[in-house]
């Protein structure tokens, strides 16, 4: 086998910022060609080949992987386009990083650590449920959490429309029952807010301080920094 060949799914993942699994789905759908010829799973790309997806040629220059850590402020959405009057995180991020995709989103009213990358495999490993990446949040409720409700959430789980939600709770202050540290390994849409809402509470503040091996530390709101994957 030639040393200058690369598996097609790896090539597509790097050039398009998707995971290899997503690349395999793309290849299997029949829209990918090499030198205008249809290909199958397991195909390889060599130097000088022309790769296209749905007729659009994919650049073959090597794109380095980038990994950024961002402290998302409240009031910004994680999409590329503003939603109504709500600005997007890309308004705060330098233009040279606008091609990066967020890894695990935070809703508009939530803040804290957000990872951005063009490495689809890394994004997949950080977000797919089978990898069970730990996420830690600081949560403030609109009123004191009753001990019974604490036990229900931590020990038994709360039934939501998309399944049971079980969170690990720890008090942030000895004398307050409104402020909690919430630890989870899932990542369903607005799961923490929906869990507390099912028991009649409103989450007034939700701030993510840890995502897998990455911690927010003393980063200021809106601050961005490069990180090394581990």
pLDDT per residue as tens digits for the range 35-94: 988 888 888 888 888 898 988 888 776 678 899 999 999 999 998 877 788 899 999 999
Residue 157 pLDDT greater than 50, yes or no: yes
Q: Is 5-58's fold the same as 134-211's?
A: no
pLDDT at residue 189 above 90?
no
Tell me whether residue 142 is one of the annotated catalytic residues. no
pTM for this predicted structure: 0.76
Kindly calculate the radius of gyration of the chain based on its CA atoms and give it in whole angstroms.
21
Residue 175 confidence (pLDDT) above 80: yes
Q: Are strands 135-141 and 203-211 parallel, antiparallel or unpaired?
A: antiparallel
Distance, in Å, from the CA atom of 19 to the CA atom of 13, rounded to the nearest integer, reads: 5
* CA distance between the termini of the chain: 31
CA 172 to chain centre: 25
Output the six-digit token pair for 43: 């195909």
The pair of structure tokens assigned to 111 is: 């803040």
Cβ-proximal residues to 195 (8 Å cutoff; 6+ apart), any chain: 153, 158, 160, 165, 167
Pick the CATH number of 67-128+216-226 from 1.10.3720.10, 3.30.450.20, 3.30.70.580, 3.30.390.30: 3.30.70.580
Least confident of 54-63, 132-141, 159-168, 207-216: 54-63
Cβ(171)–Cβ(180) under 8 Å?
yes
Only one residue has tokens 């369903």, namely 188
Q: State the residue for tokens 């090499």.
A: 34
Query: If you count them, how many residues does the chain have?
Result: 230
So what's the pLDDT on residue 15? Answer: 83
Task: State yes or no: pLDDT of 98 exceeds 80.
Answer: yes
User: Quick one: which of 128, 133, 153, 155 has its CA closest to 203?
Assistant: 153
| CATH architecture of the region 5-58 | Roll (3.10)
What does 60-117 look like in DSSP terms, one character per residue? -SPPPP-EEEEEEPTT-BSSSS-BTTB-BGGGTS-GGGTT-EEES---TTEEEEEEEE
Evaluate if residue 209 carries a pLDDT over 60.
yes
pLDDT at 147 over 80: yes
Domain coordinates in residue numbering, the chain: 5-58, 67-128+216-226, 134-211
* Overall average pLDDT of the 171-192 stretch: 92
Tell me the C-alpha distance between 226 and 230, whole Å: 13
Catalytic pick among 107, 119, 121, 144: 107
User: Is a pLDDT exceeding 90 seen at residue 216?
Assistant: yes
Average pLDDT, the chain: 90
Q: Which of 75-84, 107-116, 153-162, 199-208 has the lowest mean pLDDT?
A: 75-84
Q: What mean pLDDT is predicted for residues 100-126? A: 92
Residue bearing tokens 């299997």: 28
Burial of 77 (0-12, 13-18, 19+ CB in 10 A): buried
C-alpha closest to that of 32 among 62, 100, 22: 22
Pick the CATH number of 134-211 from 3.20.20.190, 3.30.70.1560, 1.10.3720.10, 3.30.70.260: 3.30.70.1560
Whole-number percent of the chain with pLDDT over 70: 97
Which strand (E) or helix (H) includes residue 135?
strand 135-141
């Amino acid at each position: 086998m030639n040393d200058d060949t690369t598996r097609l799914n790896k090539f597509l993942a790097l050039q398009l910022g998707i995971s290899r699994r997503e690349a395999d789905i793309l290849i299997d759908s029949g829209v990918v060609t090499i030198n205008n010829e249809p290909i199958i799973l397991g195909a390889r790309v060599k130097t000088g080949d022309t790769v296209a997806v749905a007729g659009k040629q994919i650049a073959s220059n090597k794109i380095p992987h980038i990994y950024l850590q961002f402290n998302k402020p409240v009031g910004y959405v994680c999409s590329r386009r503003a939603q109504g009057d709500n600005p997007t995180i890309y308004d705060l991020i330098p233009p040279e990083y606008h091609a990066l995709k967020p890894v695990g989103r935070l809703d508009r009213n939530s803040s804290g650590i957000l990872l951005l990358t063009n490495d689809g495999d890394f994004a997949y490993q950080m977000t797919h449920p089978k990898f069970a990446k730990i996420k830690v949040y600081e949560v403030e409720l609109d009123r004191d959490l009753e001990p019974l409700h604490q036990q229900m959430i931590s020990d038994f789980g709360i039934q939501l429309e998309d399944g049971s939600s079980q969170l690990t709770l720890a008090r942030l202050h000895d004398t307050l029952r409104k402020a909690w540290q919430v630890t989870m390994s899932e990542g369903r849409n607005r799961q923490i807010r929906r869990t507390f809402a099912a028991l009649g509470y409103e989450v007034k503040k939700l701030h993510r301080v840890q995502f897998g091996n990455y911690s927010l530390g003393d980063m200021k709101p809106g601050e961005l920094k490069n990180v090394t994957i581990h």
